[in-house]
Structure 1
Amino acid sequence: MLSRHVVQDSASLWLHYYVKTENGPVLVKVPQAEFICFCASANLAALLSIPALGVVRTKALPLHNFDLDNVTAIYCQSRQGFRHLIKGAIDLGIDLFEADIRPEQRYLIERFIALDAEFMGHYVEDIPSSALPVFIAQRARKRSFDIELKSISLDFECSFNGELYSVGLYGRNEKGDEYQKVIMVGNQTDQGSNKQPDGEFARIVDDIQWVSDEKTLIIALINWFADYDPDVVIGWAVVTFDLALLYRRAKLHGIALTIGRGKSELGWKVADKYRPETLTLPGRVVLDGIDWLKAAFYRFDSFSLEFVSRALLDRGKAIHNVENRGEEITELFHQNKLALAHYNLNDSRLVWDIFEKTQLFDFAIERSRLTGLELGRVGGSVAAFNNLYLPYLHRAGYVAPSGAASQGLESPGGYVMDSIPGLYRDIVVLDFKSLYPSIIRTFLIDPKGLIEGLSSQESDTVDGFLGAKFSRRSPILPQLIKTLAEHREEAKAENNAPLSQAIKIIMNSLYGVLGSKGCVFHDARLASSITLRGHEIMKQTRKWIEELGYQVIYGDTDSTFVWLGGKSPQTGIGEIGKQLVDIVNRRWKEKLKNEMKLDCYLELEFESHFEQFFMPTLRGSSEGSKKRYVGAYTKPDGELELVFKGMEQVRSDWSPLARRVQQELYFRLFSKLDVVSFLRGVIDDLKLGKLDDELIFTKRLRRDIKDYTAKSSPHVKAAQKMCQHTSDEQYSRKGTKVEYLITLNGAEPVKFQKSSIDYDYYIDRQLQPISDPVLTILKVKFESIASNQLSLI
């Protein structure tokens, strides 16, 4: 299924599903649809007295709410009537249950349908052969299919004011056959020069469709969509920039943007809110590279196409000045359109190759297939939980609550142990595999189980926290996690990385959903029974390890850092780690079986071994820090690899110089190389102006400047100065990349630097904080190095 819709006509309500079949796209229509919700049966009469409900039917069901009241289903045949029902219920102070579940979604989840389905019914015969086939469905069921989706990477080039110059389109099929096309305003001879196309530019001449103006470009693109007919459109900020820009330009020219299937129009559910969640494009799926990399938990210092493509593909944009590409794009449009077409296609190809390299196509499909979320929807953890949980809840005799039982995340977070700072050799890291999902499964934590447990006999329950008791009988959530865990092991065995990653993310999101007041199942007793049980598990694990003669120097949520004592072990490090894991896992199984009569699904694993490890103190204190450390291990090629956690090295708000120096300081510390001479040389070069290029801070505005309550942030001040110097408001907008230096007159944008660089700031506020932890180990004071008055030690 590509997209899902509910459509109201004059007579009735329909569900529309645009699906891709082995024989092409089809519009499936389900007739006689209804908006559905539930109420306590005692409140039905009051609700039916609400005016303007339209055609409504009701049915008493063998279901209960979480207060154990009998419930009745209410079925509305119009959207307007359903809205009146919801508003009237609010005015009467009456709870409605599951009123937020959309009809097109409920139809699927009640049948356990996620992405693939088989519809039974008949085709409409009087549809023109050129139109999209229409199928009237009477029944549907879950089926699995493997159908190739036709995808295209789309990218626009435009002027500073948004006028479209060209659109690049690139794709490949499963056989590796390429497709590429550029629709460009102008003509091949309109170059502003007498240069003949040669080399790589000459190869794309036949791939360009020349059009006379922007309006003709838009019409040509609409025709292209009808002809090529892609199922999936990908791009970089493709919704928030490309499609939003296309929509605005089409609107300017009075063109109906009919690029959806069946000549349906692209639109937005909320005016002027150009976001993936507000986009409507019937019959097509839109995947934005930035959003989907983040959804798959990729992390980059910058999510610009240039940065990500360099990191993943080792190549980037086909332009000389990436930072000022707007000016160069306009120049190419007027001087060398073939070069602009090459640049345009290269951007489209970069996006395609990033999707293939990271398997984002497969990840998006597997995520939808697992959760029932629409293909292309990012986020949606609460909706995914509902899709998975509700059909089982209904079959167990309950409807979902009307809202959260408590307001917010009252439960504590993960357990973070006080650290023992210092420089260590041989630290073993032991991790509990999927700790929170394992806790849910082991201790039978479940929304339905909580309701039933509170009214059950003691022998039939498992104690939680904050007074929670969970029924041992047929819990839903632990069974869902069991199924997901089994599927993940199968995916790993089959080397299906996208499926394995999708399952891992879903499993780990379950605690977050239960801990969020945006979820109707949220209850502090549920969330606390997970996190506080995690605290208990981590403390007991530490106790068992230390009883074996080892020291635990730190622990964080699910990880335990064990010092082996500083002596060369008789057996291998890996063997010691395995022994610790085996002992702890065995003890947990015995403890839970004997004390709580529970099967244990907690699984401690030997995660890693740091040959050297540094846990710093809090600045200006002897107390150990938390969530900050540096570890080192030797790679197979013999090189020393450093791992930074929570240090300045991994934070983008420190200068490139500070990050480079910190990396080198710890490399020298662990390699027993001279730290002091290196640091003195850096400070000397800094004062001589040799390192100015490494002093530039780069940060983006997270909101418009006018929306910042505190204007003291250096990058905000620098952005304000850019606006003042240029009189250009674009530098004040959210997302603007600000490059600035700290000068004797504060933060100044690099382009408009007037004052001298404040080298003392970089020494005192950048180099000293990152140097002090290392120098403390060496018993050297930073001041003695900075002043070139190093004492003999």
Structure 2
Amino acid sequence: MPTTPQQGFILTRHWRDTAAGTEIEYWLATEAGPLKVLLTRQMSVAFVEARHRVVVQTQLLAMPDMDLRELALKSFQQEPVLGVYAKHYRQLGKLTRGLKQLDVPLLEADVRPHERYLMERFITAGVQIEGGQAVDGALVDCRLLPAPAYRPALKVVSLDIETSQHQDLYSIALDGVGERVVFMLGDAPAPTAQAKQTEQTEDSEPTSDFRLIYCASRKAMIEQLNAWFARHDPDVIVGWNVIQFDLRVLQKTADDCATPLLLGREGRPIAWRAHPGKQDYWFAPMPGRAVIDGIEALRAAVWSFPSFSLENVAQALLGEGKDIGDEYDKMAEIERRYQEDKPALATYNIRDCELVLRIFDKAQLLQFAMERAHATGLQLDQFGGSIAAFSHHYLPRMHRQGYVAPNVGDVRGKSSPGGYVLDSRPGFYDSVVVLDYKSLYPSIIRTYLVDPVGLAEGLHGSDTASLIRGPMDTRFSRDKHCLPEIVTTLWRARDEAKRSKNEPLSQALKLVMNSFAGVLGATECRFFNPALISSITLRGHEMVKRTKALVQQRGYEVIYGDTDSIFIWLGRAHSNQEAHAVATSLVKDINAWWTQGLRQEQNLESFLEIEFDTHYKKFFMPTIRGSDVGSKKRYAGLSVDADGQEAMVYRGLEMARSDWTPLARQFQEGLLSRVFQGEPYRDFVIDYAQATLAGKKDDQLIYRKRLRHRLDAYVANLPPQVRAARMADDYNARLGRPLQYQRGGWIRYVMGKNGPEPLEVRQSPIDYEHYLSKQLQPIADAILQPLGEDFNSLTSMQQELF
């Protein structure tokens, strides 16, 4: 146990009520290994407006170990508040329910003890540990202080299982920290003469780079797994769908075997918790170990893939995979290997673990998760929680300004309008430059001092002349606020992260900073207020409109704009150097205009900064299909960087959308690139259509669409993917295989003469005319019609001849 101050990184956090009071438990990763910290007899606190004193005192007569205290705090309605202090946190919940019946709100009673302890000390993930006593393997009642720079080396294990098609456990693989091992159900093969000479144990088998241990029963597998975790003691468990599949199967197997699954530190079980808003979705908190799912980590870090299957992501990031066929081919091969070649199954199993570790390394997912924890104050493996992250930063600063937070739902109403999108001018253009406001909403918060406390002060302030005027008759205090300082701190930290090339930290800070406006517009947030969020979004509208006017005063045309970007047509073809020079001049003028204008209008310092983003040598803005109106959020361009390197860019077009077939996406890419490069395109259109009709592109005809609801939820409207899924599961049922689509998911199908047909069961010839009229023609006409041509004119004669 430490006798001098040391640092730690919070892995897990928990609270419990004990006879002595509320106890908080933190597990830390330290240089000396894992450390359990216990903070005992912690008082829990909530707040109530002082005018309800008598009502609350009456309630407290039946609740021992609770009392009211005078505080120098007030509500957003400027009412003084009292502190309600409780020995046990659950008492606050009981009091909340009792007061609710009397229409008396108890404020901040939902802030849990382990969260409040950290936020009020401005701790996010790193801590400095001072004092405390060693008791039964834990450090008790020490003092924790923030240590924002601490980054330990975490011990990581990748876990993966293989099962039968009915989820009967066959093997468990572990890779990373400690011994690489596969626990396999079944008897070990008879040892060879060589194995006997080397005294090989009967329950294991040597392999090229991992140990294969045979287990006589699933109960023995769980026991071996428990022992491995106790022996090697990882800080973090990673995997692919590791909570919703691997850990749940392991838990069910353990339960069926009447054997505890003890993967937490100190041999403690998983504290399973159902998600309140997602059906059949679970959290798997366990003491002392974080569990990070690769799919959720990638999405949180804003990675995007057509499919988040391990095979697809591995191919995309690593250029290799482990595919052994489609879902049913894979299951059949797993079954064959289990029955006939268990070492081959073990190799396949641990290969999944290896791929997960390499993906985590390639995408820097563990670093991102750690930096996100430092940036948000949330637990390492919590990837949602934007509202919780906002509260973690905001509440302690708000308290120091003399305020307590409202409850969720105290303010009602519709949220604000979203980002402003200019009408587009469809067509083909030479030389379009894009200017983009850097972190638009955070910069508006900093510049106009948009803030919940600032709004409360402004709405009740008497000296209105000194306040900052905003949209919807809002007024903000110039000197009493919290959010602008929070954003400024994060902004500067991100600039430093970029200078030091710490991409995971830069990305984490960007995401949390940019989430704040969305949080204020979420009705689930305690600070939700339509006027507050509108003070951000409507400022954004004003900025886009003013920027457009400034650009057009300079003699250039704005052909599109979206939230924080404007697309400027330079009127004629410019060299790359010329286009960059024009963009640089515009950026300088616009930023100077904001600096001067805001100082004159409201004596504000401008943090609004527009930047040069892209020069498109060629640019295409399509129309809304079936009309002459320009589309929004859909365009393509041939971009050129400062070094003259060209790249095709697609936004919102079929090329960039996974619900169109590869046939359509490749056609659009080929046609647009030829038009942009000034190459012949008519023969390309004709040949592509002819090759499609001739069956030469059959491997590109597959639709891949998502079933967003349970299959039985589709009643009146049956889109193609639903019809295909029902056909597939009818077929699976006839073969006695598990049904794949009853709870939603992704379905792959082709369009046959009899309609949509899943890949599992194909019964009719391909409907090539469908693909020409529904996939190729809409794409072709959007591009060809501005050029005076159309798909039918180019292909009709060839189709007749064919």
Distance in structure 2 (CA, Å) of the matches to 1:603 and 1:679: 44
1:314 aligns with 2:319: yes
Q: Taking structure 1 as reference, are residues 598 and 639 closer, same or farther at Cα in structure 2, changes over 3 Å only?
A: closer
Distance in structure 2 (CA, Å) of the matches to 1:58 and 1:710: 57
Distance in structure 1 (CA, Å) of the matches to 2:229 and 2:628: 65
Q: Note if contact 2:43-2:88 (Cα within 8 Å) is conserved in structure 1.
A: yes
1:426 aligns with 2:431: yes
1:392 aligns with 2:397: yes
SS at match of 1:184: strand
Per-residue deviation, 1:179: 4.8
Partner of 1:82: 92
Distance in structure 1 (CA, Å) of the matches to 2:421 and 2:635: 14
1:30 aligns with 2:39: yes
Partner of 1:612: 618
Partner of 2:554: 548
Per-residue deviation, 1:325: 1.3
SS at match of 2:429: strand
Residue from 217, 223, 235 that aligns with 1:219: 223
Q: Note if contact 2:163-2:169 (Cα within 8 Å) is conserved in structure 1.
A: yes
Per-residue deviation, 1:550: 0.9
Partner of 2:266: 262
Q: Note if contact 2:159-2:172 (Cα within 8 Å) is conserved in structure 1.
A: yes
Per-residue deviation, 1:637: 9.8
Read off the aligned partner of 2:611 and give its amino acid letter. Answer: E
Q: Note if contact 2:156-2:235 (Cα within 8 Å) is conserved in structure 1.
A: yes
Partner of 2:569: 563
Partner of 1:195: none
1:469 aligns with 2:479: no
Q: Taking structure 1 as reference, are residues 205 and 378 closer, same or farther at Cα in structure 2, changes over 3 Å only?
A: closer
1:95 aligns with 2:105: yes
Q: Taking structure 1 as reference, are residues 206 and 651 closer, same or farther at Cα in structure 2, changes over 3 Å only?
A: closer
**Greater CA drift, 113-122 or 458-467:** 113-122
Q: Note if contact 2:96-2:105 (Cα within 8 Å) is conserved in structure 1.
A: no
Q: Note if contact 1:234-1:287 (Cα within 8 Å) is conserved in structure 2.
A: yes
Partner of 1:744: 753
**Greater CA drift, 466-475 or 17-26:** 17-26
Q: Note if contact 2:416-2:533 (Cα within 8 Å) is conserved in structure 1.
A: yes
Distance in structure 1 (CA, Å) of the matches to 2:675 and 2:576: 26
Map 1:437-516 onto structure 2 (within 5 A). Answer: 437-456=442-461, 457-516=463-522
Q: Note if contact 2:494-2:505 (Cα within 8 Å) is conserved in structure 1.
A: yes
Map 1:621-660 onto structure 2 (within 5 A). Answer: 621-634=627-640, 640-660=646-666
Q: Note if contact 2:453-2:480 (Cα within 8 Å) is conserved in structure 1.
A: no
Question: Is there any run of 5+ residues in structure 2 with no aligned partner, and where?
Answer: 1-9, 192-204
Distance in structure 2 (CA, Å) of the matches to 1:476 and 1:750: 56
Distance in structure 1 (CA, Å) of the matches to 2:773 and 2:576: 46
Q: Taking structure 1 as reference, are residues 714 and 271 closer, same or farther at Cα in structure 2, changes over 3 Å only?
A: closer
Per-residue deviation, 1:688: 2.2
Q: Note if contact 1:37-1:98 (Cα within 8 Å) is conserved in structure 2.
A: yes
1:410 aligns with 2:420: no
Per-residue deviation, 1:255: 1.2
Partner of 1:196: none
**Greater CA drift, 331-340 or 566-575:** 566-575
Q: Deviations over 1:684-711 (max 9, x none)?
A: 2222222222111122322320123554
Residue from 337, 340, 349 that aligns with 1:344: 349
Read off the aligned partner of 1:216 and give its amino acid letter. Answer: A
Distance in structure 2 (CA, Å) of the matches to 1:530 and 1:323: 51
Distance in structure 2 (CA, Å) of the matches to 1:570 and 1:217: 64
CA RMSD of aligned residues (A): 2.4
Q: Taking structure 1 as reference, are residues 570 and 326 closer, same or farther at Cα in structure 2, changes over 3 Å only?
A: closer
Q: Taking structure 1 as reference, are residues 637 and 528 closer, same or farther at Cα in structure 2, changes over 3 Å only?
A: closer
Distance in structure 1 (CA, Å) of the matches to 2:145 and 2:647: 52
Read off the aligned partner of 1:608 and give its amino acid letter. Answer: T
Q: Deviations over 1:222-276 (max 9, x none)?
A: 0111000001111111111111111111111111212111121112133998988
Per-residue deviation, 1:21: 2.1
Distance in structure 1 (CA, Å) of the matches to 2:658 and 2:374: 36
Q: Taking structure 1 as reference, are residues 783 and 276 closer, same or farther at Cα in structure 2, changes over 3 Å only?
A: closer
Partner of 2:59: 50
Q: Deviations over 1:525-565 (max 9, x none)?
A: 11111111001111111111111111111100001101111
1:763 aligns with 2:772: yes
Q: Note if contact 2:614-2:639 (Cα within 8 Å) is conserved in structure 1.
A: no
1:363 aligns with 2:368: yes
Q: Note if contact 1:86-1:96 (Cα within 8 Å) is conserved in structure 2.
A: yes
Distance in structure 2 (CA, Å) of the matches to 1:206 and 1:411: 57
SS at match of 2:445: helix
Partner of 1:106: 116
Q: Deviations over 1:357-408 (max 9, x none)?
A: 1111111111111211112111100000000011110011000012345435
Partner of 2:728: 722
Per-residue deviation, 1:467: 1.4
Q: Taking structure 1 as reference, are residues 736 and 138 closer, same or farther at Cα in structure 2, changes over 3 Å only?
A: closer
Partner of 1:180: 180
Partner of 1:775: 784
Residue from 225, 230, 233 that aligns with 2:234: 230
Read off the aligned partner of 2:390 and give its amino acid letter. Answer: F
**Greater CA drift, 287-296 or 260-269:** 260-269
Per-residue deviation, 1:649: 1.0
Read off the aligned partner of 2:768 and give its amino acid letter. Answer: Y
Per-residue deviation, 1:331: 1.1
Q: Deviations over 1:80-118 (max 9, x none)?
A: 433321211221111111111101110111111111123
Partner of 2:719: 713
**Greater CA drift, 741-750 or 463-472:** 741-750
Read off the aligned partner of 1:58 and give its amino acid letter. Answer: L
Partner of 1:155: 160
SS at match of 1:365: helix
Per-residue deviation, 1:621: 1.7
Q: Please, what TM-score do these two structures have when normalized by structure 2?
A: 0.92
Distance in structure 1 (CA, Å) of the matches to 2:392 and 2:777: 52
Distance in structure 2 (CA, Å) of the matches to 1:521 and 1:255: 46
Q: Taking structure 1 as reference, are residues 396 and 339 closer, same or farther at Cα in structure 2, changes over 3 Å only?
A: same
Question: Is there any run of 5+ residues in structure 1 with no aligned partner, and where?
Answer: 128-132, 173-177, 192-200
Partner of 2:138: 134
Count of paired positions: 774
Q: Taking structure 1 as reference, are residues 542 and 678 closer, same or farther at Cα in structure 2, changes over 3 Å only?
A: same
Distance in structure 2 (CA, Å) of the matches to 1:686 and 1:32: 73
Q: Note if contact 2:206-2:212 (Cα within 8 Å) is conserved in structure 1.
A: no
Q: Taking structure 1 as reference, are residues 636 and 159 closer, same or farther at Cα in structure 2, changes over 3 Å only?
A: farther
Distance in structure 1 (CA, Å) of the matches to 2:367 and 2:716: 43
**Greater CA drift, 76-85 or 664-673:** 76-85
Partner of 1:198: none
Q: Taking structure 1 as reference, are residues 205 and 472 closer, same or farther at Cα in structure 2, changes over 3 Å only?
A: closer
1:754 aligns with 2:763: yes
Q: Taking structure 1 as reference, are residues 37 and 570 closer, same or farther at Cα in structure 2, changes over 3 Å only?
A: closer
Q: Note if contact 1:264-1:282 (Cα within 8 Å) is conserved in structure 2.
A: yes
Q: Note if contact 1:464-1:525 (Cα within 8 Å) is conserved in structure 2.
A: no
Per-residue deviation, 1:356: 0.8
Distance in structure 1 (CA, Å) of the matches to 2:337 and 2:413: 54
Per-residue deviation, 1:141: 1.6
Q: Note if contact 1:257-1:265 (Cα within 8 Å) is conserved in structure 2.
A: yes
Q: Note if contact 2:263-2:270 (Cα within 8 Å) is conserved in structure 1.
A: yes
Q: Please, what TM-score do these two structures have when normalized by structure 1?
A: 0.93
